[in-house]
Amino acid sequence: MFDTTELAASINIRPCHSSLLISAFSSSSSSSSSSSSSMAAFSERTLVLSCLALLACVAVDGQLSPAFYNSTCPNLQSIVRTAMTRAVSKERRMGASILRLFFHDCFVNGCDASILLDDTSTFVGEKNAGPNANSVRGYDVIDAIKSNVEKTCNATVSCADILALAARDGVVLLGGPTWTVQLGRRDATTASQSAANSNLPGPGSSLAQLISAFSAKGLSARDMTALSGAHTVGQARCISFRSRVYSDANVNATFASLRRQSCPASGGDGNLAALDAQTAAAFDNKYYQNLVAKQGLLHSDQELFNNGSQDSLVRQYGSNASAFSGDFAAAMVKMGSISPLTGSRGQIRLNCRKVN
Ligand code: HEM
């Protein structure tokens, strides 16, 4: 007798598919006790079916699926939604912060929750990389969701998938579009500060640099322009937009002078301003209208509308909210599929901050 669950695990089969295999194998082994020819034929057919099931399972390995936890953690989505609702009603900005946390995870060696790992004696993590230090927030919210999920579905759901669901919920709670989240990512066992420093685009980036940073992750210029619409929510520190409001030429003068009031030429690096001055806490298409009015807060934002290849798309998103919503949702699914760890790669961390 062999253990079919172990067999399924050893060949990298995901939970939702292993049940198919197990039933195929168990009917095969029960029929093998019969000596009749019809039973022998049945047994042979079952074996063929088992092999086909095996092939099918191996073929889907490496792909994500919205149904991944349907049988192993059916309440997952409502657990995440409840916690995100609580977090966003406590502080609306948290919806934005979790969205950015997901972006900064996916762009550094894939959506594998590597950003959530604290530094250890064996590696320097991503939390203190330049683009993340004193800036990325929401780690405690992910910890709280993870501990709720563990209570119901122990050692089953990855931190990477929790982050993907929480980011979608944050957008929805701020009034933005929804999408179906692909699931089945596993968690990294290491993190890379140097990859975080080199893969995440900075606020001084040119259009060419933005396009190339996204292209390196398999995302088009159109995806990049749609995803940048995330800057319709949340805040930036003075240090991120100082040179924009003191030195850029393509900035609305009234807007720049208003922003200079709370962002001195020196000092006050941490002073905050809304990325979207019109509706800071609502996920809408005002970000693009700001760009057309030369009121992008970051230099990199205004690069999308500065007589370049993305100008017409920016105008289109600014005047057609549903065109933006549709493209944003599709691009989020694409971004969420960057190099996931699947099958037996990585692990299901029990605590998002450390490797098991
Ligand atoms: C296109 C290249 C991008 C650049 C150069 C960029 C840069 C930045 C910078 C500099 C900040 C302010 C950080 C601070 O001062 O503390 C920021 C905030 C933010 N970014 Fe981006 N970002 C980009 C793309 C994205 C994408 C693709 C998303 C999500 C899909 C995103 C979501 C956000 C959000 C929501 C905030 C506000 C976070 C908060 O309030 O906590 N950004 N970004």
Q: Quick: pLDDT tens for 291-311.
A: 999 999 999 999 999 999 999
CATH number, domain 76-199, options 1.10.357.10, 3.40.50.9100, 1.10.520.10, 3.40.50.2300: 1.10.520.10
Q: Which residue has the higher pLDDT, 221 or 40?
A: 221
275 CA to centre of ligand 1 in angstroms:
9
| Residue 245 Cα distances to 140, 239, 274, angstroms | 33, 11, 14
Res 2 pLDDT > 60: no
341 CA to centre of ligand 1 in angstroms:
25
Block residue for tokens 């990855």: 158
Q: Averaged over 109-120, what is the pLDDT?
A: 97
Tell me the per-residue pLDDT of 230-264, one tens digit each, with 9 for 90 and over.
Answer: 999 999 999 999 999 999 999 999 999 999 999 99
274 CA to centre of ligand 1 in angstroms:
11
Residues paired with 273 in a beta bridge:
236
Assess whether 104 carries a catalytic annotation: yes
The answer to whether 99 touches 171, Cβ cutoff 8 Å, is yes
Q: Can you give the pLDDT at residue 23? A: 33
Res 327 pLDDT > 60: yes
Nearest to 329 by CA among 202, 229, 184: 229
CATH number, domain 207-331, options 3.40.50.720, 3.40.980.10, 1.10.420.10, 2.60.40.1120: 1.10.420.10
Query: Whole-angstrom Cα distance, residue 101 to residue 353?
Result: 14
Q: Averaged over 81-108, what is the pLDDT?
A: 98
Q: Answer yes or no: same fold for 76-199 and 207-331.
A: no
Res 319 pLDDT > 80: yes
Lowest mean pLDDT among 4-8, 147-151, 185-189: 4-8
Res 12 pLDDT > 50: no
Give the domain ranges of the chain. Answer: 4-60, 76-199, 207-331
Residues paired with 247 in a beta bridge:
none
335 CA to centre of ligand 1 in angstroms:
14
The answer to whether 157 touches 83, Cβ cutoff 8 Å, is no
Res 28 pLDDT > 80: no
Res 47 pLDDT > 50: no
Res 17 pLDDT > 50: no
Res 135 pLDDT > 50: yes
Going by alpha carbons, the residue nearest to atom 7 of ligand 1 is: 203
Residues enclosing ligand 1, CB less than 6 A?
93, 96-97, 99-100, 103, 135, 137, 201-203, 205, 210, 224, 227-228, 230-231, 233-237, 240, 275, 298, 300
Going by alpha carbons, the residue nearest to atom 22 of ligand 1 is: 228
The answer to whether 163 touches 142, Cβ cutoff 8 Å, is yes
Binding residues for substrate: 201
Going by alpha carbons, the residue nearest to atom 13 of ligand 1 is: 236
The answer to whether 299 touches 244, Cβ cutoff 8 Å, is yes
Res 148 pLDDT > 90: yes
Q: Averaged over 69-76, what is the pLDDT?
A: 98
Tell me the per-residue pLDDT of 51-67, one tens digit each, with 9 for 90 and over.
Answer: 343 333 333 446 899 99
Going by alpha carbons, the residue nearest to atom 41 of ligand 1 is: 97
Q: Can you give the pLDDT at residue 29? A: 33
DSSP, residue by residue, 61-124: TT--BTTTTTTT-TTHHHHHHHHHHHHHHH-THHHHHHHHHHHHHHTTTSSSSGGGPPP-SS--
Residues paired with 259 in a beta bridge:
none
Six-digit token pair at 356?
Answer: 């098991």
3-state helix, strand, coil in the chain (%, to 5): 55, 5, 40
Q: How far is CA 151 from the centre of its chain?
A: 23
Q: Can you give the pLDDT at residue 122? A: 87
Catalytic residue of the set 17, 93, 104, 137: 104
Q: What is the DSSP letter of 352?
A: T
Tell me the per-residue pLDDT of 118-129, one tens digit each, with 9 for 90 and over.
Answer: 999 888 999 999
Cβ neighbours around 60 below 10 Å, total: 17
Average pLDDT across the chain, whole number: 87
Res 337 pLDDT > 70: yes
DSSP, residue by residue, 271-295: -EEESSSS-TTS-SSHHHHHHHTT-
Res 171 pLDDT > 50: yes
Q: Can you give the pLDDT at residue 231? A: 98
Six-digit token pair at 120?
Answer: 């250890």
Q: Can you give the pLDDT at residue 62? A: 67
Q: Can you give the pLDDT at residue 224? A: 98
Q: Can you give the pLDDT at residue 217? A: 98
Q: Give the chain's length.
A: 356
Share of the chain above pLDDT 90, in %: 81
pTM of the predicted protein model: 0.86
Binding residues: 105, 108, 110, 112, 114, 126, 201, 231-232, 276, 279, 284
Share of the chain above pLDDT 70, in %: 83
